[in-house]
Structure 1
Amino acid sequence: MPTLVHYPLDPASRLIRLMCAEYGVPLDVEEVRPWLRDENLLELNPAATLPILFGDADTPIVGIMASIHAVEDFYTPTAVQGLFPADPYVRAEMWRLVEWVLIKLNDEVTRYLLEEKIAKRDQRGATPEPSVLRAAKANLGEHMLYFNWLLASRNWLAGDDMSLADFALAAHLSTLDYMGDIDWSKSPESRDWYARLKSRPAFRTLLNDRVVAMPPSKGYADLDF
């Protein structure tokens, strides 16, 4: 059984968890807080980033891109379509949006909110910086406008069929939703899309996540939100 070194609210880790759950792959998880830069974590990945996936071998698969390809290569069931579109142009659009989420959305929004709201709790005397929170939430508003625009004319984020792009965005939005940073009333297209993903069996393990001393926002675990 593969093992994932992760943090529950880390969106990159959540993406791998979603992929494995969608493909019916049982997954053991080992929780770490990467900002503490634990020696064991640094031995596996000197960059102290997640996720780290152990497959059938003892060799660690480090980082989000390597883990995505490992799951797709090793665990895609033959009975179902994988999350990579067969058409090369649709696949290119999927990768464009995956890059948008993993790099642009993460660097402009998710990373800052996790640092301010989660990581700073382990720093004595540290408190969230209001100006950083305001900037990240303003950036989030702009991203949501773009996602709404895309989803107004598409069944799924990258086109007619569900793909890795949907899971990547859902992983980030689920983290932000847990922390109460999304106003779904201003994003009806994204809300409807997220409700469809949230109803999938693969999402159940994420909706059960809880962080000590930080309960999820109202509606986080509700399918009808």
Structure 2
Amino acid sequence: MPSLVHYPLDPASRLIRLMCAEYGVPLDLDEIKPWLREEALLELNPAATLPIMFTETEAAIIGIMANIHAVEDLYAPETVEGLLPADPLSRAEMWRLVEWVLVKLNDEVTRYLFEEKIAKRDIRGATPEPSVLRAAKANLQEHLLYFNWLLASRNWLGGDTMSLADFALAAHISTLDYMGDLDWSKIPGETRDWYSRIKSRPAFRTLLNDRVVAMPPSRGYSDLDF
């Protein structure tokens, strides 16, 4: 059985967990806080980033892009369509949106909220910086407007079929939802409907059961009708 070094609210780790769950691949989970830069993590990955997967051959697969390709190459079932579209143009649009989420959304929103609300809990005397939270949440609204614009004319984020782009965005949205940074009553209907559909998939159950010590999830985080 493959194992994954992860942190429960790390969006990159969540994406790999979603992919494996969608493909029916069980995972042993080894939790670690990457911001502490512990020696055991640095020995595996000097960049101190997650996720890190160990396959049945015990080879370490390090980083989000390497893990995405490894899961797709090793575990995508041949009997059903995987998360990467077969059509080249559809696949190009999927990768465009995956990059948007993993780079732009992460760098402008998720990373700041995660650092302020999660990582700072391990720094004595540190408290979230209100100006950083305000800027990140303002950026989040701009991203949500763009995603809603896409979803108003598509069944899924990247087109007519669900793809890796949906799982990448859902990984980030679920982290933000856990931390209470999404007011669903003010989010446009297309995005809310999209999240309801993907949240209802069996693969999502592993994320909805996550809990962080001394930080319960926001109200409605685990509810399919939210």
Output the CA distance in 1 between the equivalents of 2:183 and 2:190: 12
Q: State the Cα distance separating 1:80 from its structure 2 match.
A: 1.5
Partner of 1:117: 117
Partner of 2:143: 143
**Residues 1:55 and 2:55 aligned together:** yes
Partner of 1:21: 21
Q: State the Cα distance separating 1:16 from its structure 2 match.
A: 0.1
Partner of 2:199: 198
Q: State the Cα distance separating 1:160 from its structure 2 match.
A: 0.2
Q: State the Cα distance separating 1:116 from its structure 2 match.
A: 0.2
Sequence identity, in percent?
82
Output the CA distance in 1 between the equivalents of 2:151 and 2:137: 21
Map 1:18-97 to 2 at 5 A: 18-97=18-97
Structure 2 SS opposite 1:30: strand
Output the CA distance in 2 between the equivalents of 1:32 and 1:158: 32
Output the CA distance in 2 between the equivalents of 1:23 and 1:81: 10
Partner of 2:176: 176
- Structure 1: stretches of 5+ with no match in the other structure: none
- Structure 2: stretches of 5+ with no match in the other structure: none
Aligned length: 225
What CA deviation, in whole Å up to 9, does each residue of 1:75-133 have, x standing for no partner? 01112110000000000000000000000000000000000000000000100000000
Map 1:131-170 to 2 at 5 A: 131-170=131-170
Q: State the Cα distance separating 1:186 from its structure 2 match.
A: 2.5
What CA deviation, in whole Å up to 9, does each residue of 1:37-96 have, x standing for no partner? 010100000000000011111221000000000000000111211000000000000000
Structure 1 SS opposite 2:192: helix
Task: Give the TM-score normalised by the residue count of structure 2.
Answer: 0.99
